[in-house]
């Protein structure tokens, strides 16, 4: 998933047409639910290039179903509005010209109400189409699944973009009221080092469900034995780095990271605010005291790597991460996902088992020191969907494990997310290796 998101499903033999409509409606409702606490005004602005207006997301997700499914498979379907293809295409050159990305937040029309009407129009026609499911070709099933996965990717973006949008106002508005019983200063249990067996291992998705094309082909890889920390790095630990002058010492930084830190005046993670000697953090619940026990998040790759250098360790590669995940068999139920409504990674309980590997799935995407490059033998799909993943495979780093903004059903250990090294508005975090 990414600003620019991801790709082609493969062999979805897992799909049974029985529950298609139910599943479609559940996924679609989740997008609307995320926008419900917003005002119309919040849905139209774009305070920075990476962030898209929520209204745009809502329309774009519908455009995806309209373009790839309704126009292809529903006989006699008429598009909701002829200009919407121009307005809500994200990055598909195959599908013609579109609004410049930087201008998404300068256009107030169509109004939010029309975009909801667009969603309703698409939903009604999708219901018609899904009623014909048994007569549709296998390719349809793949595209249908892809449409749902795509919607889920944009749900994560909605959660992070909404946070960014609200953060730009000096009023520090809350997206939702803060839970009243949140403890904020307890410390996390000390991290432990867990040994991982390297050697020859398979990497890539081997299941029978959905995966993106970038998780394939499955292939063998070799890594040496290594150790991984059993939890994410916490705010308390990261604060030590800050207090030790980490942002002022070039020796810990990659050159391009150091230039960025100087140019932008970075001195803490995104959303951290120092006020009267106390650290606060902007959250979906407004400005809150920094939770020292919680994992540090919303940092760039440069910061993650500089922290690791300072600590004397390193970030894992994506192969190491996937091998470890296979070995430790993480329990998805233990992670924090979008469905929790918490919108922040959660502290590890004080009594967590120190011999287990925690927080692998959910909570925070883990920066790896691996490029987002094609797996050996990777082939881009033909047509517009060939643009879904393949064209982004340079100059980005892989992140693994999903975050507190990822829908739980969307993630798996082989999932490859990718961002540029300077991005930090996603729920990104650090796990150390050595």
Residues near a copy of itself (CB under 8 A): 4, 39-48, 55, 81, 83, 86-87, 91, 93-94, 103, 105-112, 165-166, 168-171, 173, 200, 219-224, 250-251, 253-258, 301-302, 305, 369-371, 373-374, 376-377, 386-387, 391-395, 397, 421
**Closest distance of CB 150 from a copy of itself, Å:** 17
Pairing of strands 365-371, 272-275: unpaired
Rounded Cα distance between 60 and 89, Å, is 7
**If residue 65 lies in a helix (H) or strand (E), which one and from where to where?**
helix 54-65
> Please, which residue, 183 or 224, has the CB nearer to a copy of itself?
224
Rounded Cα distance between 408 and 414, Å, is 14
> Please, which residue, 190 or 394, has the CB nearer to a copy of itself?
394
In 68-137, which ranges are E strands?
none
Closest CA to 433 of 320, 353, 355, 354: 320
> Please, which residue, 300 or 403, has the CB nearer to a copy of itself?
300
**Closest distance of CB 195 from a copy of itself, Å:** 16
**If residue 115 lies in a helix (H) or strand (E), which one and from where to where?**
helix 112-131
> Please, which residue, 279 or 369, has the CB nearer to a copy of itself?
369
Distance of CA 44 to the CA centre of its chain: 21
What strand order describes the sheet that includes 397-400?
Answer: 417-419, 397-400, 365-371, 428-429
**Closest distance of CB 225 from a copy of itself, Å:** 11
> Please, which residue, 97 or 243, has the CB nearer to a copy of itself?
97
> Please, which residue, 106 or 197, has the CB nearer to a copy of itself?
106
Closest CA to 430 of 215, 207, 245, 269: 269
**Closest distance of CB 322 from a copy of itself, Å:** 15
Longest dimension (CA), the chain: 66
User: How does 91-100 read in b/e, with b if 16+ C-beta sit within 10 Å?
Assistant: ebeebeebee
In 67-171, which ranges are E strands?
none
**Closest distance of CB 248 from a copy of itself, Å:** 11
* Contact (CB, 8 A) for 404 and 362: yes
Rounded Cα distance between 156 and 163, Å, is 11
* Contact (CB, 8 A) for 348 and 359: yes
Closest CA to 318 of 391, 367, 379: 367
> Please, which residue, 179 or 312, has the CB nearer to a copy of itself?
312
Question: How many helices and strands (H and E) does the chain possess?
Answer: 10, 11
**Closest distance of CB 14 from a copy of itself, Å:** 28
Rounded Cα distance between 87 and 209, Å, is 33
In 63-198, which ranges are E strands?
193-196
> Please, which residue, 44 or 325, has the CB nearer to a copy of itself?
44
**Closest distance of CB 393 from a copy of itself, Å:** 7
> Please, which residue, 40 or 132, has the CB nearer to a copy of itself?
40
Structure tokens at 14: 């897992």
**Closest distance of CB 314 from a copy of itself, Å:** 8
**Closest distance of CB 383 from a copy of itself, Å:** 9
> Please, which residue, 209 or 217, has the CB nearer to a copy of itself?
217
* Contact (CB, 8 A) for 150 and 64: yes
DSSP reduced 3-state for 53: coil
Closest CA to 348 of 333, 335, 339, 366: 335
> Please, which residue, 365 or 418, has the CB nearer to a copy of itself?
418
**Closest distance of CB 259 from a copy of itself, Å:** 10
**Closest distance of CB 271 from a copy of itself, Å:** 16
């Amino acid at each position: 998933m990414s600003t620019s998101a991801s790709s082609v499903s493969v062999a979805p033999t897992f799909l049974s047409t029985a529950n298609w409509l139910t599943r479609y409606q559940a996924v679609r409702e989740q997008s609307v639910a995320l926008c419900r606490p917003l005002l119309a005004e919040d849905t139209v602005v774009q305070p920075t290039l990476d962030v898209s207006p929520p209204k745009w997301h809502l329309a774009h997700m519908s455009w995806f179903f309209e373009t790839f499914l309704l126009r292809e498979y529903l006989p006699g379907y008429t598009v909701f509005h002829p200009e919407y293809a121009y307005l809500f295409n994200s990055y598909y050159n195959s599908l013609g010209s579109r609004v410049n990305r930087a201008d998404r937040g300068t256009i107030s029309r169509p109004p939010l109400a029309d975009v909801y009407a667009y969603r309703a129009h698409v939903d009604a026609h999708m219901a018609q189409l899904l009623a014909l499911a048994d007569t549709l070709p296998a390719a349809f099933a793949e595209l249908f699944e892809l449409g749902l996965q795509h919607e889920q990717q944009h749900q994560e973006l909605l959660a992070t973009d909404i946070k960014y949008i609200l953060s730009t106002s000096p009023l520090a508005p809350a997206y939702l009221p803060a839970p009243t019983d949140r403890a904020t200063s307890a410390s996390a249990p000390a991290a432990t080092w867990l040994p991982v067996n390297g050697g020859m291992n398979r990497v890539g998705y081997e299941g029978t469900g959905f995966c993106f094309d970038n998780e394939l082909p499955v292939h063998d890889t070799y890594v040496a034995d290594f150790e991984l920390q059993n939890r994410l790095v916490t705010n308390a630990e990261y604060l030590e780095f800050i207090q030790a002058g980490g942002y002022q010492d070039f020796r810990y930084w990659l050159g391009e990271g150091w230039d960025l830190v100087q140019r932008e005046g970075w001195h803490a993670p995104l959303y951290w605010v120092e006020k009267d000697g106390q650290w606060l953090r902007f959250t979906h619940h407004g400005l809150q005291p920094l939770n020292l026990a919680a994992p540090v998040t919303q940092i760039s790759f440069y910061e993650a790597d500089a922290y690791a250098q300072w600590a004397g360790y390193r970030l894992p590669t994506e192969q190491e991460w996937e091998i470890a995940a296979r070995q430790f068999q993480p329990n998805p139920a233990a992670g924090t996902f979008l469905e929790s409504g918490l919108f922040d990674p959660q502290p590890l309980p004080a009594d967590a088992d120190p011999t287990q590997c925690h927080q692998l799935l959910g909570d925070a995407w883990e920066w790896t020191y691996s490029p987002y490059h094609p797996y050996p033998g990777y082939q881009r799909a033909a047509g517009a969907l060939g643009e879904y993943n393949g064209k982004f495979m340079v100059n980005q780093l892989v992140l693994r494990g999903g975050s507190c903004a990822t829908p739980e059903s969307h993630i798996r250990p082989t999932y490859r997310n990718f961002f540029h090294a300077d991005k930090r508005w996603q729920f990104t975090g650090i796990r150390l290796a050595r």
